[in-house]
A = this chain, B = another copy of it.
Amino acid sequence: MKQIGVFGATGYAGRELLRLLRVHPGARVAFATGSDPALPSHEEGLEREADAYLLALPHGVSARFAARLRQSRPQAPVIDLSGDLRLPDGEAYRQWYGAEHPAPELLGTAPYGLPELFRERLAGARLVSNPGCYATSMLLPLAPLLEQELVDADDVVIDAKSGATGAGRAPKEHLLFCEVSEDLSAYSPGRRHRHVAEVEAVLQARCGRPVPLTFCPHLLPVRRGILAAIYLRSRRPAGELAAALASRYAGEPFVKLVENPPRLVEVAYTNQCRISVHDAAPGRVVVFSALDNLVKGAAGQAIQNLNLALGWPETQGLEEAA
């Protein structure tokens, strides 16, 4: 039984970490830090012993704690759920996050924690950068299709919709019930959302060429879930693309090809990503990708990475959520 330290347990991702760790057969929560007065502060968390650490802290803060934990407990894996370690260099961080990187010495040291794409780098890793929720929903279908050159790399359009937990738990007027209910709002349209940067970086690295994204996220009046509609150019029929994805993910416990567009409720509270492919106008296909933004999009994927880092079976503690 390993002791796990959780930093930032009062936000939505942090609470989900606690929910998942409660049913994990190999892990126990050693401590959980947070803004709640009943909890130790993040600083106090640095004094506590644990076998591994999960960081659900804001970007700009998280990498600083990662750096200190790497120093003080070099043997203990650290999974960072923030965006701090997802971009390749300080310049990209400056451009997309509008600030100097909080711990530039860590840049390039943390593999990108999408096990279905980077499993070999994640086994035994000591620092992992957990992907963004939207990024996961895009990369799982896009990476194989682009790598196998089944779709055009220069014409990728993603229209994504997320439940409001994705916007965090800090009280803001536009997140009040009376503002979100009975509404739908697009934000950061075009190519401005930060997850664009990490997806483009991963795709460029894997495909050897730039893949410029058009990406429009929307805030949904639901609590959890992401549904992304990915519009692609392809000369192949949808069935062929679906078969390629099904074959690529045949052994994967958390990715499933389905026939009809996946619904949010089908993946809610699970670590699954469900994908479907459909023919559209001539030369076009649409791919749907659905996941729970708090599970496969955050805490569940973090547990998956923790399992890999500690050499445990990758699905441990996630079967129920699978």
Contact = CB atoms under 8 A, between A and B. Distances in A.
A281 B191 contact: yes
A165 to B, nearest CB: 5
A232 to B, nearest CB: 10
Interface in A141-197: 156-157, 159, 161, 163-165, 169, 171-173, 175-187, 189-191
How many copies of this chain? 4
A42 interface: no
Interface stretch (A67-75, A79-87, A214-222, A302-310): A214-222
Nearest to A162: B184
Interface stretch (A52-60, A91-99, A248-256, A259-267): A259-267
Secondary structure type dominating chain A contacts: mixed
A107 interface: no
A46 to B, nearest CB: 26
A37 interface: no
Given A177-B164, A182-B265, A189 B280 contact: yes
Contacts of A7: none
Interface stretch (A25-33, A110-118, A127-135, A223-231): A223-231
A288 interface: yes
Contacts of A222: 181-184, 221
Contacts of A179: 177
A246 B320 CA distance: 32
A11 to B, nearest CB: 11
A189 B265 contact: no
Contacts of A173: 169, 171
Nearest to A213: B281
A279 interface: yes
Contacts of A189: 229, 261, 278, 280, 286, 288
Contact of A212 (B182, B281, B286): B281
A12 interface: yes
Interface of A: 12, 23, 156-157, 159, 161, 163-165, 169, 171-173, 175-187, 189-191, 212-216, 218, 220-225, 227, 229, 231, 238, 261, 263-265, 268, 278-282, 284-286, 288, 320
12 contacts: A161-B218, A164-B178, A171-B171, A182-B222, A183-B263, A184-B220, A184-B225, A189-B288, A190-B238, A190-B279, A191-B280, A218-B229
